[in-house]
Amino acid sequence: MPPRSASDLYAEMKNMSVEERIRFFSLSLAEMHRELQESISEIESMQRALAESEENHRQLVETAQDAVITINHAGVVINWNQAAERMFGWSAGEAIGNNLGEMIVPEEFREQHARGLMRFQAAQPSNILNRTIEITALHRTKGKFPIELSIWPHQQSGKQIFSAFIRDITDRKQREQVVWLHANFDALTGLPNRRLLSNRLELAITQAIANETEVALLFIDLDRFKPVNDIYGHAVGDELLRLVAFRLQSVLREGDTVARLGGDEFIALLPDLKANDPLPRQTAEKISNALTQSFLIHEHVITISGSIGIALFPHDAADADTLLNSADKAMYSSKKATPRER
């Protein structure tokens, strides 16, 4: 039944006797009291539900595997859960009331952190709110480590606060590093493989175009390597390849790349060369001298040599694949010119 208006009640009361009016008011007061009690009960129920929800939320935050940290508008910590204690080495009692940046932000990033807070305070747009980013954090005693961070801005008692959800991604980064190493480096020698060489060669050519410089590729094929495997076995052959890799690295500049293509084939990448630079020829001679010096492996004296082909960008090729093919052909021309036992 819809509630009656004051004018309806007044019109109804005009036709009532005094006793009827008293009885009417008594019934109305009783109804109002009942409705008031129902409202009070409903409010109390809502308050209990809210308190229970807040307690559940608090327990959820406290027992979360990820660190949950809340700061106020000035960057001062107002909440610090148990996972944050484990992750950063500061207890809640030590953290709450202190500046977040001074505890978990590495010194080299604190100015950037402070500028971000200033943008928040000025209500300026930010590119880190409501998204997940990867940054470096600082443990109290163990130093820097990688984290995944999400920041959620919200209101508490009418004031702007920020809750950060933080995950330690050290293990994940280590796994990614292992995968990257396997994908880009030769397992036997530790040298860059064909994939990483291709990436570095493409970059070197791009930079050469921009800087009007040149790039050299030296294709190195070992001579007399097959008899080493046949006579002494693959363990000696593998050790020989590792020693060859070390010698090749020792004669190159910092910033040059030595890669193993596979088998007994290696590549030396020399970027950022001047026009008519003598360095490629000089490097080839150093490599040749390094390879002709005997190797002592498991009490066996091993003697090998190398055939080397040189190709230059942009003279011999205009792209990475063609440059590699040109260096390969130059190597075979060198091998034919000076026949050696494989």
- Would you state the pLDDT for residue 6? 55
- CA 66/CA 165 separation, integer angstroms: 7
Superfamily of domain 187-337: Reverse transcriptase/Diguanylate cyclase domain (3.30.70.270)
Nearest to 161 by CA among 95, 67, 69, 83: 69
- Between 320-337 and 194-211, two packed helices, what is the crossing angle to 10 degrees? 110
Q: How far is CA 256 from the centre of its chain?
A: 26
Report yes or no: 270 and 256 within 8 Å, Cβ to Cβ: yes
pLDDT in tens, the chain (342 residues): 555 555 665 566 666 676 766 676 666 666 766 777 777 777 766 665 555 554 544 554 444 589 999 999 889 999 999 999 999 999 999 999 999 999 999 999 999 888 888 887 776 666 677 789 999 999 999 999 999 999 888 888 888 899 999 999 999 999 999 999 999 999 999 999 999 999 999 999 999 999 999 999 999 999 999 999 999 999 999 999 999 999 999 999 999 999 999 999 999 999 999 999 999 999 999 999 999 999 999 999 999 999 999 999 999 999 999 999 999 999 999 988 776 555
What end-to-end distance do the CA atoms of the chain give, in Å? Answer: 105
CATH architecture for residues 64-173? 2-Layer Sandwich (3.30)
Same fold, 64-173 and 187-337: no
- Would you state the pLDDT for residue 56? 44
Nearest to 271 by CA among 262, 283, 261, 286: 283
- Would you state the pLDDT for residue 155? 84
Per cent of the chain over pLDDT 90 is 68
Domain map (residue ranges) of the chain: 6-47, 64-173, 187-337
pLDDT by residue (tens digit) across 180-239?
999 999 999 999 999 999 999 999 999 999 999 999 999 999 999 999 999 999 999 999
pLDDT by residue (tens digit) across 296-310?
999 999 999 999 999
